[in-house]
A and B are shown apart, each in its own frame.
Chain A
Amino acid sequence: MYLVEEATQLADKVFQMWIHAPQVARHARAGQFLVIRIDETGERIPITISAVKGDSVRVIFMTIGKTTEHLSTLKKGDAIRDVVGPLGTPSDIKKYGTVVVIGGGVGVASTPIIAREAKEAGNHVIGIIGARNKDLLILEDEMKEACDELFITTDDGSKGIHGFASTVLDQLLKERELGCVWIIGPAIMMKVTSGVTKPYGVKTFVSLNPIMVDGTGMCGSCRVTVGGETKFACVDGPEFDAHQVDFDGLMQRQRMYVDEEKEALEHFHHPHGGCGCCGGEH
């Protein structure tokens, strides 16, 4: 069992949680994730490691279905049955010169840890964080502290620059010499934004978020096509060269269980009788 040490809400549908998990905290690096299972009947879901302090790790998640909604109801002092990690290959951080770290929506959760490590490696770090509106923006203070420069964008112009991260990125590419770009957010945002760096030939990493089960490389549920080859995001990634990724294939596979996810959420809100195959308990 893994103790929830702190649970707070950051924005509409966005929650932050500190979990006591020494075996994860001891080894976690930027770009890695963990897999959790809330209880006996739970599923395993991957969540990016957003920060580490002592024996604890922080995760930030948005409620999009049954498991994340359930997770958002946990309070300080509650326990999570299983936490395994750190999983995945750490971000390829070295001295690139000027590094841009972009986060969109809840994807901003992953950016401070990358920005900090990139700065420690001697890079000049520019952050771009975006959200649909100012109320959905998260980790602004943390990013301000972690980056040398920070740009904020909102889709509706309620804060910072009116527009998308890609607008700012395009401007930076025209004006400066960039060594490397990280883009983390929804698949469609990563696809569009990484398209901006392609003509400039600037190295661009994206953190892919396919469906996972074990997260340790034994099932291939998370397989993605990168440079024409099949890769397992949980061990080969989750970060890949954005210009080699088949984003359409990723988005198609992400939708594999759309109907089942709706059914699970409905069952969570309005539980009905037993399923008839496990003694009627569930």
Chain B
Amino acid sequence: MTGVSEHVKDFNEVNKGLSEENAVLEALRCMNCVRPSCVKGCPVCIDIPAFVQRVANRDFAGAAEVVKKDNMLPAICGRVCPQETQCEGACILSKKEKPVAIGALERFVADREREHGVTTPEVAAPTGKKVAVVGSGPAGLTAAAELARMGHAVTVFESLHEAGGVLMYGIPNFRLPKEIVQAEIDQVKALGVEIRLNHLVGRSVSTEELLAYDAVFLGTGAGLPYFMGIEGENLCGVYSANEFLTRVNLMHANCFPGFDTPVKRAAKVVVAGGGNVAMDAARVARRLGADVTLVYRRREEDLPARAVEVTNAQAEGVRFVCCANPVRVLGEKTVSGVECARMEMCALDESGRPKPSCIEGSNFVLEADVFIEAIGQGPNPLLISMLPALTRERRGNVVVDEDGQTAIARVYAAGDVATGAATVIWAMGSAKKAAAAIDRMLRGE
């Protein structure tokens, strides 16, 4: 295929990052504002001007120290945060020209530190208090790191065989290399955090054992895939995006049979959805050699995925069919196609987006041998249903106050389990607040 990015040949990282010289030049563009609006745009409030100034002065170790005060996962956030709506969107320069590339600088600082030797931040004297953290995704890792630094003894329970949550099983290597995730998890462990893998809380750890800790943090995420509920959905070749991405990212099915987990090798793949998960699934399918079509029910300008991910997917040859929605999966035993209906946009719904509705008689068929549904996910009900005193919203999310406190004393929750599926950095921001509240509670303040 000509005109298509070379990247579809492998799972290596697409964006190679800044060189030292370019990082310094970029940092010099920062105006070092007296009242920096970029900091307000960052959900974990990194002291952005302070670290950028250190990069400009070539004090890279100092820059890393400043970043890690507020964010223990900078190599991850620098890569996957939607900076255009956060720090960079708030940068004063963005009004007239391009904002300072804060994300790229954060990533540069973290990558350089990893390559030149890591320093572990100071840990406060032990408080004698024990905290259980459930889930080792972005929320759990952030809460664990914060609480360990405050001197509490932290145990993280993770049900999978690797820590990291969505960072490991969801986001593909070409956006977030797994050795970088592992290196940042190792930094959290260096603070004294114990991570117990293969422990599903509610099954391997009873709720009584859990509630015996001085405080509990629930960071169990939103890992329950939604299915469309259409005919033919259980045919062989229909995947949730969670399953498809877990097989490839966590189980390395792209290396089958070198690795034992298989994934269907398809000539034609249809992906339903328009978020980052849909983009990831489509781009992974391209790398497995398929011709990929993404079907989204609203207009192209409504795509919830980051603009850069849409651009990358298009550059890699993913075909977009907008204003269309799958209504039926076709096939005998295995998938042979996906019947879709054209959609028209009606009045705005409560989220401020146009509400799509089917156009009668507009159905058309996309040939496919694999169909991937990436239409969203909710909180896994297993553990939260075993804690009946928790209050939950209509969609199953755990209700918390602004400190992350749930309806059960000493039990806090943050990240996707509380907010519904959101971003890595929002999970980290809410986890950081909850950790501060847990610390105040444990100190009897």
CB distance from B10 to the nearest CB of A (A): 7
With A and B bound together, what is the CA distance between A217 and B258 in angstroms?
26
Asked if residues A217 and B382 are in contact (CB atoms below 8 Å), the reply is yes
With A and B bound together, what is the CA distance between A217 and B200 in angstroms?
11
CB distance from B237 to the nearest CB of A (A): 8
Determine whether B14 belongs to the interface, using a CB cutoff of 8 Å to chain A: no
Q: Which residue of B204, B243, B252 contacts A213 across the interface (Cβ within 8 Å)?
A: B243
For A43, list chain B residues within 8 Å (CB).
251, 259-261
With A and B bound together, what is the CA distance between A249 and B238 in angstroms?
13
Size class of the contact patch on chain B: 35 or more
CB distance from B240 to the nearest CB of A (A): 5
Most buried by B among A42, A218, A274: A218
Asked if residues A218 and B224 are in contact (CB atoms below 8 Å), the reply is yes
Determine whether B276 belongs to the interface, using a CB cutoff of 8 Å to chain A: no
Chain A to chain B contacts (Cβ below 8 Å), 18 pairs: A23-B198, A23-B205, A37-B161, A41-B259, A42-B260, A43-B259, A86-B204, A213-B261, A217-B223, A217-B224, A218-B246, A219-B243, A221-B239, A223-B227, A253-B236, A260-B262, A264-B257, A282-B258
Binary contact track B215-256/A, C-beta < 8 Å → 1, others 0: 000000001110101000111110110110011000110111
Asked if residues A23 and B236 are in contact (CB atoms below 8 Å), the reply is no
Query: What total of A-B pairs shows CB separation below 8 Å?
Result: 133
For A241, list chain B residues within 8 Å (CB).
none
Asked if residues A82 and B254 are in contact (CB atoms below 8 Å), the reply is no
Which of chain A's residues 242-274 have a Cβ closer than 8 Å to chain B?
249, 252-253, 255-257, 260-261, 263-264, 266-267, 274
Determine whether B160 belongs to the interface, using a CB cutoff of 8 Å to chain A: yes
Asked if residues B257 and A44 are in contact (CB atoms below 8 Å), the reply is no
With A and B bound together, what is the CA distance between A219 and B334 in angstroms?
19
Given contacts A41-B259, A230-B227, A253-B236, 19 further A-B contacts (CB under 8 A): A23-B198, A23-B199, A37-B161, A44-B161, A67-B260, A82-B197, A84-B160, A84-B200, A213-B246, A213-B247, A213-B261, A218-B225, A219-B243, A223-B234, A230-B229, A255-B236, A255-B333, A263-B256, A277-B10
Binary contact track A21-61/B, C-beta < 8 Å → 1, others 0: 00110010000100001000111100000000000000000
With A and B bound together, what is the CA distance between A87 and B382 in angstroms?
11
> A213-B247, A217-B382, A219-B242 are contacts. A85–B227 as well, Cβ < 8 Å?
no
Asked if residues A66 and B264 are in contact (CB atoms below 8 Å), the reply is no
Binary contact track A81-94/B, C-beta < 8 Å → 1, others 0: 11111110000000
Residue in chain A with minimal CB distance to B261: A43
Q: Which residue of B236, B242, B256 contacts A256 across the interface (Cβ within 8 Å)?
A: B236
Asked if residues A213 and B251 are in contact (CB atoms below 8 Å), the reply is yes
With A and B bound together, what is the CA distance between A223 and B235 in angstroms?
11
Q: Which residue of B161, B240, B334 contacts A81 across the interface (Cβ within 8 Å)?
A: B161
Residue in chain A with minimal CB distance to B251: A43
Asked if residues A277 and B254 are in contact (CB atoms below 8 Å), the reply is yes
Asked if residues A256 and B258 are in contact (CB atoms below 8 Å), the reply is no
> A42-B260, A264-B257 are contacts. A220–B236 as well, Cβ < 8 Å?
no
Residue in chain A with minimal CB distance to B287: A277
Asked if residues B204 and A27 are in contact (CB atoms below 8 Å), the reply is yes
> A218-B223, A253-B234 are contacts. A82–B243 as well, Cβ < 8 Å?
no
Determine whether A133 belongs to the interface, using a CB cutoff of 8 Å to chain B: no
Asked if residues B240 and A24 are in contact (CB atoms below 8 Å), the reply is no
For B225, list chain A residues within 8 Å (CB).
218-220
Asked if residues B382 and A257 are in contact (CB atoms below 8 Å), the reply is no
Determine whether A235 belongs to the interface, using a CB cutoff of 8 Å to chain B: yes
Asked if residues A230 and B234 are in contact (CB atoms below 8 Å), the reply is yes
With A and B bound together, what is the CA distance between A216 and B260 in angstroms?
20
Q: Which residue of A24, A27, A37, A277 contacts B206 across the interface (Cβ within 8 Å)?
A: A27
With A and B bound together, what is the CA distance between A147 and B117 in angstroms?
64
Asked if residues A27 and B203 are in contact (CB atoms below 8 Å), the reply is yes
Asked if residues A83 and B243 are in contact (CB atoms below 8 Å), the reply is no
> A37-B161, A85-B203, A87-B203 are contacts. A275–B255 as well, Cβ < 8 Å?
yes
CB distance from B321 to the nearest CB of A (A): 24
Determine whether B159 belongs to the interface, using a CB cutoff of 8 Å to chain A: yes
CB distance from B284 to the nearest CB of A (A): 13
With A and B bound together, what is the CA distance between A83 and B159 in angstroms?
10
Q: Which residue of B254, B261, B382 contacts A235 across the interface (Cβ within 8 Å)?
A: B382
CB distance from A232 to the nearest CB of B (A): 9
Asked if residues B204 and A24 are in contact (CB atoms below 8 Å), the reply is yes
For A155, list chain B residues within 8 Å (CB).
none
